[in-house]
């Protein structure tokens, strides 16, 4: 495995994870959440993830598996990996209480309403972000190892959807302690779960690297991203009451992904 490819994959994962710091800055500066921006951005992220999952990652996984097992068995393995990825991330969501789940989006003003137990809420949220972002780190890293052209837009999409998570950590910590510094650094640090996921992937997956594992990981990652898009990103965009804006973002994300993939044909 080329060391330059591994380094690039790790840096992309680091960028995606630490974008929670952007959310913390927004939370500490803004008095109100920019719902137009969040609705469009979350929709765009969903569009990128859904399009690349169905149009690039799953077909590529199926092609690679077909070379080893034949078309019928390849389809079975691809589907098992796809729904296995969905089940994995769904289980994580199920095990995390809704009140502490960073994927249950909140605006700045909403987070300010109840100041009781805010510090506890912020710390628990930071920990649960780590739980949620760990598989995303693996997904970003392994995608970058496989295809840099696909990994870059996915990295941007994950970075965008990490912004509201930064808000979810920074606001309660700031209003509990009065310290912007503590709020920022805890929120920023919570994103480190993604590069940790990349390190785990490097230590335990790269050594077993082969076309079959490559294909299964692509299908699993596609399942994770499809679930995140449908269960988190689009419902969160809808929550802000900007239906048409989120759909425009969704289509825009698909168009951006389609054009970028077309240019690399």
The ranges assigned to domains in the chain are: 3-263
Over residues 146-181, the pLDDT tens digits come to: 777 778 887 887 787 777 777 767 776 776 677 788
Q: What is the pLDDT of residues 227-258, one digit of tens each?
A: 888 887 788 777 766 678 889 989 988 988 78
* 49 backbone dihedrals φ, ψ, rounded to 5°: -65, -45
* Contact call for residues 213 and 205 (beta carbons, < 8 A): yes
Q: What is d(CA 67, CA 55) in angstroms, rounded to the nearest whole number? A: 19
Structure tokens at 130: 């780590």
How confident is the model at residue 242, as a pLDDT? 67
SS3 per residue for 34-58: CHHHHHHHHHHHHHHHHHHHHHHHH
**pLDDT tens, position by position, 5-20:** 889 999 999 998 888 8
**Residue 251 has what pLDDT?**
93
Are 42 and 181 within 8 A, CB to CB?
no
Taking residue 72's Cβ as centre, other Cβ atoms within 10 Å add up to: 8
User: Considering all CA atoms of the chain, what is the largest pairwise distance in Å, rounded to the nearest integer?
Assistant: 61
pLDDT band at 79 (very low <50, low <70, confident <90, very high): very high
Q: Which of 15-24, 29-38, 132-141, 151-160 has the lowest mean pLDDT?
A: 29-38
pLDDT of residue 83: 97
DSSP state of 97: -
């Amino acid at each position: 495995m080329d060391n330059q490819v591994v380094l690039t994959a790790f840096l992309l994962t680091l960028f995606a994870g630490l974008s929670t710091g952007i959310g913390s800055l927004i939370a500490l500066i803004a008095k109100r959440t920019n719902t137009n921006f969040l609705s469009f951005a979350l929709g765009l992220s969903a569009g990128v993830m859904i399009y690349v999952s169905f149009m690039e990652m799953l077909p590529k996984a199926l092609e690679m598996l077909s070379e080893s097992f034949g078309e019928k068995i390849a389809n079975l393995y691809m589907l098992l990996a796809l729904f296995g990825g969905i089940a994995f991330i769904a289980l994580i969501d199920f095990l995390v209480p809704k009140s502490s789940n960073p994927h249950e989006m909140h605006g700045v003003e909403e987070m300010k309403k109840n100041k009781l137990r805010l510090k506890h809420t912020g710390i628990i949220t930071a920990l649960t972000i780590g739980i949620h972002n760990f598989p995303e780190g693996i997904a970003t890293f392994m995608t970058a190892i496989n295809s840099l052209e696909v990994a870059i837009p996915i990295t941007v999409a994950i970075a965008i959807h990490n912004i509201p998570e930064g808000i979810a950590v920074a606001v309660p910590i700031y209003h509990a302690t009065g310290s912007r510094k503590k709020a920022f650094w805890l929120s920023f640090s919570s994103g480190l779960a993604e590069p940790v996921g990349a390190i785990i992937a490097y230590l335990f997956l790269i050594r077993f690297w082969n076309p079959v594992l490559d294909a299964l990981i692509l299908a699993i990652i596609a399942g994770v991203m499809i679930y995140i898009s449908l269960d988190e990103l689009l419902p969160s965009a809808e929550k802000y009451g900007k239906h048409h804006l989120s759909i425009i973002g969704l289509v825009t994300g698909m168009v951006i992904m389609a054009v970028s993939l077309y240019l690399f044909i």
